[in-house]
Amino acid sequence: MRWLVLYLRSRQVAAGAGVALACVAGLRLLAGDSPIFQEMLAVLGIALVTAVAAAGLAGVDPALERTAALDWRVRRAAHVVAVGGLTTVLGVVVGPPMPAEVVLRAAVGLTGLAALGVTLLGGGLAWWVPVTWTVGAVSAWLASQPPVAPLLTWPLQPPDTTAATVAAWTLGLGGMLVYAVRGPRAQ
């Protein structure tokens, strides 16, 4: 059990969870009564949670993990799943009102993008990937109602949109697998 406590400390999980909770709670206060504004802020809240968590996916010294005798693949995959679970819970319980299916889909996809960001860009820049995708999706979503690009705007699509669900789960599982196998980018 001691390794879990050390792992959580090294990844600054407590501080990240506090910042994520504050971001989502603040966005809920800003959401107001407009359903469109609530949806945009809910997806932005999920992106912010994954952006904060992305920094914790990379340890202080990624090269140290590569030399360890432990197999980090299972731990990395579990970490990504935990981030996705925390993001879903925060989005449903604390975030602006949005259907739980959409929150889950957005949490899975954006967490996968954060994991890909850690693998490709490192922990310091990994936040950029889910936030950029979300800003692009919200912009495209606002530009045309109904949105014409469900693969780009998957975080904001209605719950029954198959293309959005497939896109989110593909990004989520793909990001988790790539991160689990490759780990964070060495600095």
Q: Which pair of structure tokens corresponds to residue 24?
A: 């989502």
Residue found by looking up tokens 């990844």 in the block: 11
pLDDT higher than threshold 80 for residue 6: no
Domain range for 15 is: 2-182
pLDDT at 156: 86
Whether residue 98 lies inside any domain: the answer is yes
Q: What is the pLDDT of residues 22-67, one digit of tens each?
A: 877 777 777 777 778 888 888 888 998 898 888 888 876 666 666 6
Whether residue 187 lies inside any domain: the answer is no
Whether residue 96 lies inside any domain: the answer is yes
Whether residue 8 lies inside any domain: the answer is yes
Q: Which residue has the higher pLDDT, 103 or 21?
A: 103
pLDDT at 76: 85
pLDDT higher than threshold 90 for residue 132: yes
Whether residue 47 lies inside any domain: the answer is yes
Whether residue 11 lies inside any domain: the answer is yes
pLDDT higher than threshold 70 for residue 68: no
Cα–Cα distance, 22 to 28 (Å, whole number)? 10
Q: What is the pLDDT of residues 79-117, one digit of tens each?
A: 889 889 888 988 888 877 888 898 899 999 999 999 999
pLDDT at 25: 76
Cα–Cα distance, 91 to 85 (Å, whole number)? 10
pLDDT at 174: 94
3-state DSSP of 96-110? CCCCHHHHHHHHHHH
The angle subtended at Cα 151 by Cα 39 and Cα 97, nearest 5°, is 15
Counting the structural domains of the chain, the total is: 1
